[in-house]
Structure 1
Amino acid sequence: MRSTFLAMATMAAWAGMAPVSAAPPDAELSRTVKEVMRDTGAQGMAVAVIDGGKVLDVQAYGKRNAKGEPLTTDTIMYGASLTKAVFAYTVMQLVDEKRVDLDRSIATYLPRPLPDYVGDDIEDRYADYSALKGDERWRKLTPRILLSHRSGFANFGFLEPDHKLHIHFDPGTRYSYSGDGIILMQFVLEKGLGLDVGDEMRKRVFAPLGMKRTSMMWRADFAGNLADGWTLDGKTEPHDERSKTRAAGSMDTTIADMARLAAAVVRGQGLSAASRAEMVRSQAPIATKSQFPTLQPDLPVADRVPGLGAGIGVVHFEGPQGPGFFKTGHNDSTGNVWVCVERGQRCVVVLSNDVRAEAGFPRIVHAVLGEVGVPWAWEYGDLKLLPVR
């Protein structure tokens, strides 16, 4: 796709910051990816590099299924929780249009109190909100709180002993990752504003950015070039043909499409300068030892990751090259990561249809961006990560 990456080292004039690493030539990056695949056993991986807010390279490696058919840059892969960041980007467009106020209680959007939505009102993509009856703290929930994972919910209500959603701490007071918090924001848009979230994402994000092979639900035309997945024990899993839009993680996409998205977000396309800045800044500090399990106690200040904070749909971090943001996606057979640094509008996106690849993500990100300060230990907890070279 190109002969060499742009050299960015001249940007080292930014006082007090580490020099910006030049992105490696194609051959060097490919060598790193192949080493990671060898060392982790990962069968398929795709990588995109963005520099100066532009897509510079998109490559795919390995297999898309057990038949050994090649993974390509337009192979449909599962986006997993990268969906949350794309959904947040969509919501911020509604903020720009003043259709959503980040700090307005969700109670003011809904025609009825949230706990009153039961039975036919609640499709199986939503949580059971009836358990919130009598806990008026739900009225404190706002779009900002939901999109920055400060709702007080568990990750998902079905993980609770009674399979219902509960508030475990006062909304807005601390960070604890919650997919159901994101899905509640989807519920607010659909029940309160009458929007079809999947259609809004298509019209506002996928179509304008030329993401022709990205969708919030399964499409029949995806079947011809589709990635199955590999689990930790090396078994293959078929691609899940998702039939409902779920803002927490139903997106199918390709590495080429995700490259377009990452480039747009890092350069601020589609948002006002204020909304784009709001999305990626720290809304509140993150004080837990790791992202999972959720609902961990906060650490003493001295033991926390410095500069780590909850953004809108993303995680904010501070590192030797200045501020950045990232988002990961994961299930039993999927590992994804998207990392950007503001300085130089530089990003790397990695999609893998083999969850074992996650152990090598720090090595790939470092090969492209240099040391930027991504809190890998916080993100992946006890996972044994490959050493960075």
Structure 2
Amino acid sequence: MLNTVPFVLTAALLAPTTPAAADPIRTVARETVAAGATGVQIRAVRDGHSRTVTAGVSELDTRKPVSPTGRFRIGSTTKSFVATVVLQLVAEHRLGLDAPVERYLPGLLPRGSEITVRMLLQHTSGLYNYLRTISLEDADLEKIRYQHHSPESLVAIAAARPLDFPPGSKFSYSNTNYVVLGMLIERTTGHAWGDEAAKRILRPLGMRETVIPGDRTRIPGRHAHGYQEMNGKLVDVTELNPSVAGASGEMISTTADLDKFAHALAAGRLVPPALLTQMTTPRSATEEYGLGVQTRTTPCGIPVFGHTGGIPGYGTIAFTSADGKRRVEASLTLGRGPGDDAFYSLIDKVICA
């Protein structure tokens, strides 16, 4: 049973020892494993003090603990990196936030003269989500998990279908938007989006453990295994060609590296203040998505922004308060859960602890 796997705690030197009964971070980690995660690592930062808590195991049928410094696939948290690069290009006047995609990538999209860069960033383009055709569930994943997918082939799936709604009229999350943004970065700079992200974000911030893998199927270095239920059995899906996600979700990182990114973004070190405000402001009061980041007001009244991520075997959280004083990064290696609600509950409990 997954809820009987051993629990392991690792705390950074900055964090004092806390009795289990009074330790909400440890409690959240235990609850996450009890809800079906194989393993979890949670990094919590408050006023400059950080600690990392781990629970569960890094590999089923073993007692190997989850490493507090292990790498993992971050899935859609990749989108915040792509959005940051795009907004830097906007700040450099190399891209127009409200310019049509047709100006930069002529002929690529249906109604490309009406879809703007901003709409791609905020998921209001209406573009069909190609992952509705390429399934990453059950046996379908086994068929494609080692295949190469080019950005052009992924966008072509969406371009062959009608828009879900008129551009700019509503919000609907579509991975196609960020594959197009990756192509837009390459067309504008002459370099692959991952190379630009490395030059502009990873190297300046010292994010040495973060990888943009391309077609490489393995997670380098120490890492926990990810699982997916198929036909009633848990299958190890750690190895995967992440080109099926591309600029919408292929990156690999650590909680420490994600914290460097979240801290720098909140501090205004990556995006100019006016653009950061736009990045972290949803289009309307009923939406919780800005430009490449999700927004949320926690139960204790602290507003946060960041991104969750999901890719077979792995779930990711990376959120910061607006002032950067409270941050949470977490990796969940998935088994038979937990569901999406648990991700947001984890954010709330850690930020409000």
TM-score, normalised by the number of residues in structure 2? 0.77
Distance in 1 (alpha carbons) for counterparts of 2:99 and 2:253: 32
Q: Does 1:154 align with 2:139?
A: no
Residue 243 to residue 321, structure 1, CA distance change in 2 (3 Å)? closer
Which whole-Å deviations, capped at 9, do the CAs of 1:20-76 have from their partners, x for residues lacking one?
xxxx95851453134314421322111112334x46223333322234433213212
Aligned to 2:227: 230
Following TM superposition, where does structure 1 have runs of at least 4 consecutive aligned residues deviating by more than 6 angstroms? none
Amino acid at match of 1:231: Q
Distance in 2 (alpha carbons) for counterparts of 1:348 and 1:234: 31
Q: 1:1-389 alignment to 2 at 5 Å?
A: 1-2=12-13, 4=15, 27=20, 28-52=23-47, 54=48, 56-66=50-60, 67-110=62-105, 112-114=106-108, 132=110, 137-156=111-130, 159=133, 163-165=157-159, 166-217=162-213, 222-232=219-229, 235-242=234-241, 244=243, 246-282=246-282, 284-285=283-284, 307-318=286-297, 321=301, 323-343=303-323, 345-354=325-334, 356-358=337-339, 360-370=342-352
User: Shift in Å at residue 147 of structure 1?
Assistant: 0.7
Which whole-Å deviations, capped at 9, do the CAs of 1:66-88 have from their partners, x for residues lacking one?
34433213212010111111211
Aligned to 2:151: none
Which whole-Å deviations, capped at 9, do the CAs of 1:288-328 have from their partners, x for residues lacking one?
xxxxxxxxxxxxxxxxxx55333011123345525332421
* Structure 1, gaps ≥5 residues long: 6-23, 115-128, 286-305, 372-389
Aligned to 2:153: none
* Structure 2, gaps ≥5 residues long: 1-11, 135-155
Percent identical among aligned pairs is: 26
DSSP 3-state at the match of 1:138: coil
DSSP 3-state at the match of 2:93: coil
TM-score, normalised by the number of residues in structure 1? 0.70
Count of aligned positions: 309
Which whole-Å deviations, capped at 9, do the CAs of 1:159-195 have from their partners, x for residues lacking one?
29x9443312111111000100111111122234422
Aligned to 2:9: none
Distance in 1 (alpha carbons) for counterparts of 2:36 and 2:164: 39
RMSD (Å), alpha carbons: 3.0
Distance in 2 (alpha carbons) for counterparts of 1:185 and 1:249: 12
Distance in 2 (alpha carbons) for counterparts of 1:77 and 1:26: 29
Aligned to 1:15: none
Residue 41 to residue 84, structure 1, CA distance change in 2 (3 Å)? same
Residue 234 to residue 343, structure 1, CA distance change in 2 (3 Å)? farther
Distance in 2 (alpha carbons) for counterparts of 1:142 and 1:55: 41
Q: Is the 8 A contact 1:214 1:254 kept in 2?
A: yes
Residue 215 to residue 242, structure 1, CA distance change in 2 (3 Å)? farther
Distance in 2 (alpha carbons) for counterparts of 1:62 and 1:211: 26
Q: Is the 8 A contact 2:317 2:343 kept in 1?
A: yes
